[in-house]
Amino acid sequence: MSATLYIVPTPIGNLEDITLRAIRVLQETDLILAEDTRNSSFLLKHLNISKPLKSYHQHNEHKILQEILELLNQGKNIALISDAGTPGISDPGFLLVREALQHNITVCTLPGPTALIPALVNSGLPCNEFSFYGFLPQKKGRQTKLKQLALEEKTFVVYESPFRLLKLLEELKTHLGPKRTACVCRELSKLFEENKRGTMDELIAHYKDKTVKGEIVVVVQGNKDQEENEDE
């Protein structure tokens, strides 16, 4: 008898952003796999949930895959959570989902928090179609990716660390031009949430002499929208 692997999104800042279903699944599951067990203990304590926790992160995900599949095959229901948002989205999860499906195990991903969707909608840029690039490669492949982004017609979303935000904006200016618009979404759902919209030049001027803190999503206008706006 095989059980279900649940992929459970958790809040990206505001602890109220967890669904009733996510809480129930976490209460009912036999084991919770967590990216950082210490970090997740805080959330689980807040939710009054006491369940066995096992760490599952990018450094051990290959190693413990078989062990998890065996537990699922024994009929144990397992929930995977990450530090924030939806597992598998710039977080460990994909490998486990793929392996589980290959072993005919039911995978059930709950709808819930992720940083990219509120950032995209909040940006005010067209969101009927969009591309998500996660974190850009830091060294090898970065220039190729930036050239690819210059050809991107749709609104696109990237994740970036606060320490590299200015560098990213300057690179985007070089490859996409100074007039391309974007929205820098910082600390979404938290007390000091900030959504700064503007052209690359305006955003660079805004962030240039500041120490940028917090978590960041950058949503960038696609080249089609820029062309259409210039034609009007």
Q: Which residues bind ligand SAM (CB under 6 A)?
A: 12-13, 82, 84-86, 89-91, 114-116, 159-161, 185, 187-190, 215-217
Burial 69-95 (b: 16+ CB within 10 A, else e): bebbeeebbbbbbbbbbbbbbbbbbee
Provide, rounded to whole angstroms, the least separation between the CB of residue 85 and ligand SAM.
2
Judged by beta carbon, residue 3 or residue 113, the one nearer ligand SAM is 113
Provide, rounded to whole angstroms, the least separation between the CB of residue 162 and ligand SAM.
8
Provide, rounded to whole angstroms, the least separation between the CB of residue 224 and ligand SAM.
25
Determine the distance from the C-alpha atom of residue 87 to the mean position of all C-alpha atoms in its chain, rounded to a whole number: 8
Provide, rounded to whole angstroms, the least separation between the CB of residue 178 and ligand SAM.
24
Provide, rounded to whole angstroms, the least separation between the CB of residue 172 and ligand SAM.
15
- Token look-up 């974007």 returns 182
Cβ-closest position to ligand SAM: 85
Judged by beta carbon, residue 80 or residue 200, the one nearer ligand SAM is 80
Judged by beta carbon, residue 84 or residue 183, the one nearer ligand SAM is 84
What Å distances lie between residue 90 and 16, 42, 58, 194, CA to CA? 22, 22, 11, 22
Provide, rounded to whole angstroms, the least separation between the CB of residue 115 and ligand SAM.
4
Judged by beta carbon, residue 3 or residue 84, the one nearer ligand SAM is 84
Judged by beta carbon, residue 52 or residue 111, the one nearer ligand SAM is 111
Judged by beta carbon, residue 11 or residue 222, the one nearer ligand SAM is 11
d(CA 125, CA 120): 7
Question: According to the 3-state scheme, what is the secondary structure of 179-221?
Answer: CCEEEEEECCCCCCCEEEEEEHHHHHHHHCCCCCCCCEEEEEC
- Token look-up 């805004």 returns 206
d(CA 216, CA 232): 31
